[in-house]
Amino acid sequence: MLCQECGKKPATLHFTKIVNGEKNEFHICESCARDKGEMIPGSPNGFSIHSLLSGLLDFERTGPGAIQETMRCEVCGLTYPQFSKLGRFGCSSCYQSFESKLDPLFKRVHGNTVHVGKIPKRSGGVIQTKREIDRLRRELITRIDQEEFEAAAELRDRIRELERKAEGL
């Protein structure tokens, strides 16, 4: 079999790339493999998590309705195409700048989009209270469903108290 890239030398590297269920086979020669190094697992240039991510991000970009205008982070200057190539953010503001594109990415990488873990103590007081309120509201609904009105009333008072506290913070 000849290399599918240059069509001149015999293909010595054979691999299959599957992105989102879409399967592609590659048969290429040593020198073309070197040129395309980045995309081939096990090649000297390696196949890093970042190139894997950029595959995911690229898919995003070439999909239907791809955005023509280039998004750019106002703070550090990183553009969305650069982000998708590097697989890394430039600064904490990039998360806001590229916000509209991040849900699908996080969904794919983590299966989730919203943080539920630790909150910084110094700056996180309000968030902690908000989270507690959300939790109590959910509990309130179950109590009402189960017709435990006394417990529900207690929860309602506790929620009001926390809401006042959150406003004060």
Partner 1 sequence: MSKRRFAEQPLSDWMKGQGPESEIVISSRIRIARNLRTHPFPMLASSQQSLEVMNQLTEVASSGKLSEQGSFETYKLAELSELERRVLVEKHLISPNLANESRNGAVILSDEESVSIMINEEDHLRIQCLYPGFQIREAWTLASRIDDIFEEEADYAFDERRGFLTSCPTNVGTGIRASVMMHLPALVLTQQINRILSAVTQVGLAVRGMYGEGSESLGNLFQISNQITLGQSEAEIIDNLYSVAQQIIEHEKAARQRLMTESSIRIEDRVLRSYGVLSQARIMDSKEAAQRISDIRLGIDLGMIGGVTSQVMNELMVLMQPGFLQQVFGEPLSPEARDIRRAELIRKQLT
Residues 113 and 37: their CA atoms lie apart, in Å, by: 32
User: Quick one: which of 67, 76, 153, 169 contacts partner 1 (CB under 8 A)?
Assistant: 76
Minimum Å gap between C-beta 58 and partner 1 is 14
State CA 137 to chain mean position distance: 28
Looking at residues 31 to 50 of the shown chain, list those that interact with partner 1 (rule: CB under 8 A). Answer: 42, 49-50
* Shortest reach from residue 17's CB to partner 1, in Å: 17
**Which segment (28-36, 59-67, 70-78, 137-145) binds partner 1 by CB under 8 A?**
70-78
What's the rounded Cα separation, in Å, for the pair 81 and 87?
10
**Alpha-carbon dihedral of residues 4, 7, 8, 11, nearest 10 degrees?**
20
Among 116, 145, 150, 168, binds partner 1 (CB under 8 A): 116
| 20 contacts partner 1 (rule: CB under 8 A) | no
**Sole residue written with tokens 């991040």:** 102
Among 61, 95, 141, 142, binds partner 1 (CB under 8 A): 95
Q: How far apart are CA 138 and CA 165, in angstroms?
A: 19
How far apart (Å, rounded) are the C-alpha atoms in residues 94 and 80?
9
115 forms part of the interface with partner 1 (CB under 8 A): yes
Q: Is 86 in the site for partner 1 (CB under 8 A)?
A: yes
- Number of Cβ atoms within 10 Å of the Cβ of 47: 15
Closest CA to 13 of 51, 55, 43: 43
Cβ atoms of 4 and 13 within 8 Å: the answer is: no
**124-143 positions binding partner 1, by CB under 8 A:** 124, 127, 130
Residue 81 interacts with partner 1 (CB under 8 A)?
no
Tell which one of 13, 39, 71, 119 touches partner 1 (CB under 8 A): 119
Contact residues toward partner 1 (CB under 8 A) are 42, 49-50, 53, 75-78, 86-92, 95, 102, 105-106, 109-124, 127, 130
